[in-house]
């Protein structure tokens, strides 16, 4: 099982990112379903962190939309084969706005679900750990694409805090290798073309099979197999609510689609 992605053409050209677009009753309906739900699975993508100052990848202002070359730093083959790509990746990590980012009201709304005792699992495609920083129990967070806050040696699997590696970059090493074995080091994230951790994605799909409400927030739902959480939950009889800044690849499975700002909509969904 490897991480693949398909491009969405819908929405991007419309410039409607912040437009609130849904029928008047939809938010009330979705809020009632959230209030009645007992076992909620939340799936989040980059869109929930944009209001924390972390740019997404595929949205209208996404990093890869504006600079397709940058996508190479997240593609395993290029990363392992090309020292220039790795050096660029280390510079990007050093400069990432994610280090100073703080959770926004969208993240905090999901913590509310946990406080109400109804959060079964929080499946995230994000690597920024803002859910844990917001207060979500780490044992409920399934990071299907790993975490940027740790590094891992491609050869010997040595795992250590990313801050240690970034110190070496700051000290002048443009592409620091493993101190144990000399191997290539990358962030402990799942690059394109890299296998997912089977236990993590299986736990996510298993939670989808057992939930009574699936809330997908801030994901284009175009990256697989993470996006399969949506049809799995639907097949299990769960209500499906999608909240995003633009249409998603899975809107046809949704009982309600709410288009708009996540940091505004998610708190309204969990209120009461
Ligand atoms: Zn090593």
- pTM over the 0.95 mark: no
User: Rounded to the nearest whole angstrom, what is the distance from the C-alpha of residue 182 to the centroid of ligand 1?
Assistant: 6
User: Rounded to the nearest whole angstrom, what is the distance from the C-alpha of residue 192 to the centroid of ligand 1?
Assistant: 21
Q: What is the pLDDT of residues 55-82, one digit of tens each?
A: 776 555 566 666 777 788 889 999 999 9
Domain ranges of the chain: 1-54+103-145+196-272, 59-95+149-189
Give me the CATH code for the 59-95+149-189 domain, please. Answer: 3.30.1600.10
C-alpha torsion sign, points 135, 137, 142, 147: positive
Average pLDDT over residues 21-47: 91
Average predicted confidence (pLDDT) for the chain:
89
User: What is the rounded end-to-end Cα distance, in angstroms, of the chain?
Assistant: 40
CA dist., res. 197 & res. 112, Å (int): 28
| Inter-CA distances, 249 with 130, 149, 197, 231, 253, Å | 25, 29, 24, 11, 9
Residues 220 and 250 sit within 8 Å (Cβ to Cβ): no
Identical fold for domains 1-54+103-145+196-272 and 59-95+149-189, yes or no, is no
User: Rounded to the nearest whole angstrom, what is the distance from the C-alpha of residue 131 to the centroid of ligand 1?
Assistant: 29
Q: What is the pLDDT of residues 188-218, one digit of tens each?
A: 999 989 999 999 999 999 999 999 999 999 9
Q: What is the pLDDT of residues 106-164, one digit of tens each?
A: 999 999 999 999 999 999 999 999 999 999 999 999 999 999 999 999 999 999 999 99
The candidate with the shortest Cα–Cα distance to 64, out of 41, 46, 91, is 46
Domain 1-54+103-145+196-272 has CATH 3.30.2010.30: no
Residues that place a CB less than 5 A from ion ligand 1: 153, 155-156, 158, 178, 180-181, 183
């Amino acid at each position: 099982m490897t991480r693949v992605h398909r491009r969405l053409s819908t929405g991007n050209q419309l410039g409607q990112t912040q437009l609130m677009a849904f029928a008047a009753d939809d938010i009330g309906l979705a809020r009632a379903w959230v209030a009645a739900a007992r076992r909620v699975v939340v799936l989040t993508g980059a869109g929930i962190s944009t209001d924390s100052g972390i740019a997404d990848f595929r949205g209208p202002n996404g990093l890869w939309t504006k600079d397709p070359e940058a996508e190479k730093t997240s593609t395993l083959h290029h990363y392992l084969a090309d020292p220039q790509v790795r050096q660029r990746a280390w510079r990007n990590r050093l400069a990432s706005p994610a280090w100073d980012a703080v959770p926004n009201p969208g993240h905090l709304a999901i913590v509310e679900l946990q406080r109400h005792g109804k959060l079964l699992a929080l499946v995230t495609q994000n690597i920024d750990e803002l859910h844990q920083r917001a207060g979500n129990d780490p044992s409920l967070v399934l990071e299907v694409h790993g975490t940027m806050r740790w590094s891992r040696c491609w050869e010997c699997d040595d795992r250590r805090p990313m801050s240690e590696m970034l110190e070496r970059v700051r000290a002048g090493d443009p592409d620091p290798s493993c101190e144990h074995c000399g191997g290539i080091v990358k962030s402990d994230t799942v690059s394109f073309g890299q296998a997912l951790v089977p236990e993590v994605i299986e736990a996510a799909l298993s939670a989808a099979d057992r939930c009574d409400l699936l809330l997908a927030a801030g994901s284009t739902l175009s990256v697989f197999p993470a996006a399969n959480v949506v049809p799995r939950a639907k097949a299990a009889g769960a209500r499906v609510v999608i909240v995003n800044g633009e249409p998603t690849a899975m809107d046809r499975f949704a009982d309600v689609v709410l288009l708009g700002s996540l940091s505004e909509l998610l708190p309204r969904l969990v209120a009461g």
